[in-house]
Amino acid sequence: MYEEFESIIERLEDGDFVMVYDADEREDEVDLVTPSEKITPQKIRTLRRDAGGLICVTVPPETWKKLKMPYLSDLLEECADEHSLLLEMKADDIPYDERSTFSLTVNHRDTFTGITDIDRSLTIQRFAKLGSEIDEHSTEEAQKMFGDEFRSPGHVFLLNATEGLVSEREGHTELTTALLKLTELYPSMTICEMLSDQGDSLDEEQAKEYGKENDIPIIEGKKIKEELKDKDV
C-alpha cells in the first residue's frame, strides 16, 4: 500500500518496516527495510523469514570516509597481483549497475558465531551507535574504536552508500540511506531483498499484497528522488 511521504518518514522514526521498490529499469526489486539504530532480534527474524534475501546494512558516506572503509571490489583488485583468479572474476558485467556497494563483512566482538538473530542484531545496533559517535574523532581514533568492537570477516554485510546518494546512484543503498537523512536517526538502514515462494524476486504487486496483510507501506525510488529534490541530503 502507498502512503504519504511524511507518513513513511514517521514510520521510520518509530523504527517500523517499510518497503522500497527501486525501478523497473534497474534491479526491479523490493527491499524490506528498517533503521539500523532500531534493529532487534525479532526484526532480523522478520527480514530472513518474510523477505528472504541477503540482510545488509548501509553505511552513510560520512562514516565510510571517516573510517576509510574500502569497497570490496577495490580490495579484490588490489589483491589480484598475488591472487590472479581475482582478475578473472572482476565484476565488470553487472547488468543494472556500474559498481557494487559491498564493503566489509563484520561481527561484533561480543558475538559467538555472529549468524543468529541475536548476534546480528547486536552487531547492527553497535554499528549504528558507533557510527553516530565518531564524527568528532580523527580517522585514526575512529578506526581504533571500530576495531575494538568489530572483527572481519563476519555475518553482517556492509554497503557503502555512494557519496551524493540518489543524485549519483539510485540503488537501494542510496535510496534508503537518503530516507533516514530526513529523520533524527543515524542514517544507516538494514535492508533485505524480498523473494517469492517461486525463488525469484517478489514483484511490486505481490509486495503490495504483503504490505496490506502486514500494515507495511511501499514507496518507489522515483518518489523518493522526487521528494528529495529540494532537500539538502
Q: Please tell me the distance from the alpha carbon of residue 34 to that of residue 176, in angstroms, as a whole number.
A: 9
Give yes or no: 56 in active site. Answer: yes
Give yes or no: 31 in active site. Answer: yes
Q: Please say whether the dihedral angle defined by the alpha carbons of residues 14, 225, 214 and 102, taken in this order, is positive or negative.
A: negative
Give yes or no: 193 in active site. Answer: yes
Q: Please tell me the distance from the alpha carbon of residue 29 to that of residue 20, in angstroms, as a whole number.
A: 8
How do 150-160 and 18-21 pair as beta strands?
unpaired
Catalytic residue among 22, 37, 107, 170: 107
Give yes or no: 214 in active site. Answer: no
Catalytic residue among 22, 27, 29, 56: 56
Catalytic residue among 22, 27, 170, 193: 193
Give yes or no: 71 in active site. Answer: no
Q: Please tell me the distance from the alpha carbon of residue 223 to that of residue 197, in angstroms, as a whole number.
A: 28
Cell of 114: 555472529
DSSP class of 48: I
Name the E strands within the chain: 18-21, 30-35, 56-59, 102-108, 150-160, 189-193, 218-220
Give yes or no: 21 in active site. Answer: no
Catalytic residue among 13, 62, 77, 155: 155
Catalytic residue numbers read 31, 56, 96, 107, 155, 193
